[in-house]
Structure 1
Amino acid sequence: MAIAAQFHRIARPDRREITCFIDGAPVAAFEGDTVLTAVLTQRRDLRRFEFSSATRSGFCLMGACQDCWVWTAEGARLRACSTLAADGLRIVTGLKAQDDGGQADV
């Protein structure tokens, strides 16, 4: 059984659709979406907590709490809540797709 997404769009934005990659999987997003929005419209959690097996989904949504750190495929760290998704952007969260319950290699 697939786990529902954390965020749900209530209207289709009047913005250009883009494709970014989350843990290797293509994800549709819209120009102006944050990385956090791109991820959480697809699945329930953003990443795994560094200090336990718990998952994180962002907390403050304004870049202060540091709960939304993810990485680019090149290894740069960024805040998902304040970084805009870009066409072709490749993000590594440390989580595999939620329906298999596994953890990705980072």
Structure 2
Amino acid sequence: MRLHHGIDRGRRIQIIIDGERVDAFEGETLAAAMIEQSPAFRRDTKGMARGMFCNMGTCGECTVTLLPGGRRVRACLVPAQVGMDVTRD
């Protein structure tokens, strides 16, 4: 859940997560924007939802795919940018 009071943020931007437009703020990570939409970043082999774990780039639980190129990145390390297209697949 994103804090809203007493926080200075960059300007509001939009990114696309799994085909859905989501508000983000300049200066925040993809992970921060994605958590606002859903805490689940992926499903494990049993179909159970998995979320962020370390939030510092060591565990890989927040790995997502940037479209259209298909580059896999850790969402906790990548700043949200206008028009980014991201999938959890």
TM above 0.5: yes
| Normalised TM-score (structure 1) | 0.75
Match of 1:8 in 2: 2
Q: Is the 8 A contact 1:19 1:26 kept in 2?
A: yes
Q: Secondary structure at the match of 2:37?
A: coil
Distance 1:44 1:68 in 2: 10
Letter in 2 for 1:71: T
**Identity, % of aligned positions:** 34
Letter in 2 for 1:53: G
Runs of at least 5 residues in structure 2 that lack an aligned partner in the other structure? none
Give 1:14 shift.
3.4
Cα shift readout 1:8-65 (whole Å, capped 9, x = no counterpart): 324353311110000011000000111110110122312222x321111110000001
Match of 1:68 in 2: 62
Runs of at least 5 residues in structure 1 that lack an aligned partner in the other structure? 1-6, 95-106
Q: Secondary structure at the match of 1:32?
A: coil
Match of 1:40 in 2: 35
Give 1:77 shift.
0.3
Report which of the two has the higher share of strand: 2
Q: Is the 8 A contact 1:9 1:41 kept in 2?
A: no
Match of 1:55 in 2: 49
Q: Is the 8 A contact 2:9 2:27 kept in 1?
A: no
RMSD of the TM alignment (CA)? 1.4
| Normalised TM-score (structure 2) | 0.87
